Amino acid sequence: MTATILLTPTVEERAPSALPPRLVLAPGETTPVLIDGAWWPRSRDLTAELPALIEVLDPLWGRITRVTVNPTFWPVIPRKVPVQGHVVHVGWFEAEQDPHKLLLLSYTVGRWDLLVIPPETEPAIAARLMATATDPSRSLTATGLIHEAERFRIAAEEAAGSDSL
């Protein structure tokens, strides 16, 4: 399986779904403990963001038929999203699902869990999260990875501040 990171800036004239998803997947020969990859959407609009993600994943993982999210960070959760010739059902779970995780279900492969990096995340932090999310030695949950990245960001800012003194 090929891992892809696209950190190109968003082109304002194009719709978010017209741009390739910013996505990295764990190598096929490893079995991540809790996370199968990381996705950095450009917005919190599932209707606009999911089609491009699923179009990339369908050939790799088999047809994605269902997606679940935690509604904490998604203002609108559509019940269905059309994706190149089929419809993906979208559901949500509050207490049962990590708010920073997207769960995908496929007919042929089963279940996949992706870390969802908040759209407003700085590119350097997002790149770090994408790398750590697919490290097979990691055993943190999606929220654990986000919290670790936040602690790293704060430490880096403090170090930069003390260097300037």
Nearest to 3 by CA among 28, 33, 35, 30: 28
pLDDT in tens, 40-66: 999 999 999 999 999 999 998 899 999
Question: Identity (one letter) of the amino acid at 24?
Answer: V
Whole-model pTM? 0.81
Interacting residues of 56 by C-beta distance below 8 A, sequence separation 6+: 20, 21, 23
Beta-carbon contacts of residue 10 (< 8 Å; ≥ 6 apart): 16, 19, 42
Q: Residue 90's closest CA among 42, 54, 55?
A: 54
Note whether 81 and 46 are within 8 A (CB): yes
The model's pLDDT over 69-103, given as tens digits with 9 standing for 90+, comes to 999 999 999 999 999 889 999 999 998 999 999 99
Strands of the chain, DSSP E: 23-25, 37-39, 64-69, 80-83, 86-92, 101-106, 111-116
